[in-house]
Amino acid sequence: MRVLGIETSCDETAAAVVDGEGGILANVILSQVEDHRPYGGIVPEVAARAHLQAVDAVVARAMDDAGLAFGDLDGVAATGGPGLIGGVIVGVMTAKAIAAVHGLPFLAVNHLEGHALTAGLSDGVGFPYLLLLVSGGHCQLLAVRGVGDYTRLGTTIDDALGEAFDKTAKMLGLGYPGGPAVERAARDGDPDRFPLPRPLKGRPGCDFSFSGLKTAVRQTIEGLPPGAPTAQDVADICAAFQAAAGDVLVDRCGHAVARFRADHPGPVTLPVTLVVAGGVAANAYLRGRLEFLARGGDLRLVAPPMALCTDNGAMIAWAGLQRLRRGLEDGLDFAPRPRWPLDPDAPRAAGAGIKA
Ligand code: KG4
Ligand code: ZN
Ligand 1 pocket: which of 131, 310, 316, 354 to mutate (most atoms within 8 A of CB): 310
Work out which ligand 1 atom sits closest to the CA atom of 111.
7
pLDDT band at 356 (very low <50, low <70, confident <90, very high): very low
Ligand 1 pocket: which of 8, 131, 134, 135 to mutate (most atoms within 8 A of CB): 135
Q: How many Å lie between the centroid of ligand 2 and the Cα of residue 226?
A: 39
Number of other CB atoms surrounding residue 36 within 10 Å: 18
Question: pLDDT by residue (tens digit) across 172-216?
Answer: 999 888 999 999 999 999 999 999 999 999 999 999 999 999 999
Nearest CA to ligand 1 atom 10: 136
pLDDT band at 36 (very low <50, low <70, confident <90, very high): confident
Q: Are 44 and 84 in contact (CB under 8 A)?
A: yes
Question: pLDDT by residue (tens digit) across 220-278?
Answer: 999 999 998 999 999 999 999 999 999 999 999 999 999 999 988 766 667 899 999 98
Report the alpha-carbon distance of residue 2 to residue 22 in Å, rounded: 10
Q: Are 226 and 179 in contact (CB under 8 A)?
A: no
Residues with CB under 6 A from ligand 1: 10, 135-137, 162, 165-166, 177-180, 183, 278-280, 282-283, 310-311
Report the alpha-carbon distance of residue 345 to residue 112 in Å, rounded: 15
Q: Which CATH number fits domain 125-307: 3.40.50.1000, 3.60.21.10, 3.30.420.40, 3.10.580.10?
A: 3.30.420.40
For the cut 70, the answer to whether the pLDDT of residue 348 exceeds it is no
Task: Pinpoint the residues of the chain covered by CATH 3.30.420.40.
Answer: 2-116+308-325, 125-307
Give the SS3 label for residue 81. Answer: strand
For the cut 50, the answer to whether the pLDDT of residue 352 exceeds it is no
Pick from 191, 155, 186, 156: nearest CA to 169: 186
Report the alpha-carbon distance of residue 305 to residue 282 in Å, rounded: 9
Q: Are 341 and 151 in contact (CB under 8 A)?
A: no
Query: What's the CATH code, domain 2-116+308-325?
Result: 3.30.420.40
57 vs 264, higher pLDDT: 57
Residues with CB under 5 A from ligand 2 (ion): 135, 311
Q: Quote the longest CA-to-CA distance of the chain.
A: 66
